[in-house]
Amino acid sequence: MTGIRTVLGDIDDFDGAAYAHEHLILDSPLIADRFPHIHLHDVDAAVDEVARCRAAGAGLMVDAMPISAGRDAVRLAEISRRTGVHIVSATGLHHDRYYGPLHWTNRVGPDELTALFVADLLEGIDEFDYTGPIVRRTEHRAGLVKVATSGEDPDARDLRNIEAAAAASAATGAPVLTHCEGGVGGIAQVERLVAAGVPATSIILSHVDKAANLAYLRDLAATGAVLELDQSLRERADGTSSVTVRAVLALVEAGFADQIVLGTDGARRTLWSALGGEPGLAWLASDLPAVLQEAGVGAADLHRIQHSNAQRALAWRTV
């Protein structure tokens, strides 16, 4: 397996733009209670939103919610079928805030987590997403492993999760997608994942433009990892007034055009057109390319950033 694993099967390529960090379904009792602003549970609304993205040029989306934190592979598969957009689902774990201190994910070791991650990747994601005592694996498999850290230096929980994510990636060849809280922590993530056997080119560091530090972004890119930039949807700013556009320009100028991917991280009901928000996730494919071109990004680099880099970064390695 050297292609991209989506919830509907393996593909070698896709047409159109990649959305490298999205949240199409976010549905758990905890999220509904504590984080209602990100509670995304309606398949019809998601189909409406994703279809608008498809019409604007989107071809693939990464749904970045991992194990037992609001993920639903069955609903993701339905969204993919109804819109024609390929969807990559994640295994792995997110921050503790999406689970709570008594959750089972805080009471197991790295070997047990690795086994679950590998099963999601190779066998199929549990229909109930490990929220109960019965596991009923679906035909929908995860396409990458997610891990989140809390700051510059990972804490004990982070280290356990990194160990498990790295082991699952090393065993399967699946890429790793990380969450960088506030945009920081990427250097430590890469160092530990690489030391555990994950090539830097198979690591996608998310939200790094939140740090708004161009020197830091160049240092991140120098590790060989892929940088996911996703603040443009919230900014909706023209030219160099946008931190995302400035980041793209700085990375391209420094020779890192092959290591940039874009997303929206659009886990806000207020951002979805289908839910009465604005500007809608389609903005990433419909408006941002023109902003980047006007700022000086050439057509070849834009194609890399929108498509080719994600195709390469999401592809599984031979192990």
Look at residue 237 in the predicted model and tell me its pLDDT.
Answer: 62
**Is the residue at 152 inside a domain?**
yes
**Is the residue at 318 inside a domain?**
no
Query: Three-state DSSP class for 36?
Result: helix
Q: How many structural domains does the chain have?
A: 1
The angle that helices 214-222 and 243-253 make with each other, rounded to 10 degrees, is 50
Look at residue 1 in the predicted model and tell me its pLDDT.
Answer: 63
| Residue 37, CA distances (Å) to 26, 32, 40, 219, 279 in order | 10, 8, 8, 34, 16
State the CATH number of the domain containing residue 24.
3.20.20.140
Look at the pTM and tell me if it is higher than 0.75.
yes
Nearest to 217 by CA among 180, 166, 263, 169: 180
Cα torsion 190, 196, 202, 205 to 10°: value is -30
Cis peptide before 279 (omega within 30 of 0): yes
What is the C-alpha to C-alpha distance for residues 12 and 5, in angstroms, rounded to an integer? Answer: 9
**Is the residue at 319 inside a domain?**
no
Q: What tens-digit pLDDT sequence spans the chain (319 residues)?
A: 679 999 999 999 999 999 999 999 999 999 999 999 999 999 999 999 999 999 999 999 999 999 999 999 999 999 999 999 999 999 999 999 999 888 999 999 999 999 999 999 999 999 999 999 999 999 999 999 999 998 889 999 999 999 999 999 999 999 999 999 999 999 999 999 999 999 999 999 999 999 989 999 999 999 999 999 999 998 876 666 789 999 999 999 999 999 999 999 999 999 999 999 999 999 999 999 999 999 999 999 999 999 999 999 999 999 9
Look at residue 100 in the predicted model and tell me its pLDDT.
Answer: 85
Look at residue 239 in the predicted model and tell me its pLDDT.
Answer: 63
Question: Are the C-beta atoms of residues 288 and 301 closer than 8 Å to each other?
Answer: no
Domain boundaries, position 45: 4-313
**Is the residue at 14 inside a domain?**
yes
**Is the residue at 191 inside a domain?**
yes
| Residue 48, CA distances (Å) to 24, 81, 83, 275, 285 in order | 11, 13, 8, 9, 15
Q: How many residues does this entry show for the chain?
A: 319
Query: Three-state DSSP class for 103?
Result: coil
How is residue 287 written in tokens?
């408006």
**Is the residue at 135 inside a domain?**
yes
**Is the residue at 53 inside a domain?**
yes
Look at residue 238 in the predicted model and tell me its pLDDT.
Answer: 65
Look at residue 124 in the predicted model and tell me its pLDDT.
Answer: 98
For β-strands 9-11 and 4-6, DSSP reports them as antiparallel
**Is the residue at 286 inside a domain?**
yes
What is the C-alpha to C-alpha distance for residues 126 and 145, in angstroms, rounded to an integer? Answer: 15
